[in-house]
Amino acid sequence: MNRKVLNGFIIVVLLVGNIIFAQLYFSNNQQSSDTGQSMTGMRQEKKVLTFLKLFVDKVLKAEEEVSFNDRLILENAVRELDDDRIMVKWQAFVDSKDSSQAQDNLRNLLEVLVNSVG
């Protein structure tokens, strides 16, 4: 009789342990998933900041017309962001007909870039 009680007790303890470990596993799995999503967002924000720095260096600080090579670098960098909102504002900026329109499109582009980081 003692042996049956002991075996039953061990089975109950093992079942409770399995339930606790399963809960911990699923909790950690969810945290890992959340962390992965955060890392993806941070990588995208870093790409946007890198493009923004490149844009400031090549366009806003330019003393003369932006070279073809620099325009190509900027175009590739903005495409690498893979963000439709930024791409639309970039296209509007590039397609500007005069300086007034370019300034308006520049403000819109910078606004989208800053908002995508925050």
On whether the CB atoms of residues 71 and 95 are closer than 8 A, the answer is no
- In angstroms, the CA 98 to CA 24 distance is 61
Which pLDDT score is estimated for 80?
Answer: 92
Pick the closest to residue 70 from 46, 89, 44, 94 (CA basis): 94
User: Taking the CA of residue 57 as centre, how many other CA atoms within 13 Å lie in the half-sphere pointing to its CB?
Assistant: 9
Domain boundary assignment for the chain: 2-117
Q: Sign of dihedral through CA atoms 26, 32, 35, 36?
A: negative
- In angstroms, the CA 112 to CA 2 distance is 73
* Two tokens, residue 81: 């962001």
Which pLDDT score is estimated for 66?
Answer: 87
Pick the closest to residue 110 from 86, 88, 94 (CA basis): 86
Which pLDDT score is estimated for 52?
Answer: 92
* pTM attached to this predicted model: 0.69
Question: What are the mean pLDDT values of the chain's consecutive 10-residue runs (118 residues total)?
Answer: 84 89 86 77 89 91 89 92 93 92 92 88
On whether the CB atoms of residues 89 and 112 are closer than 8 A, the answer is yes
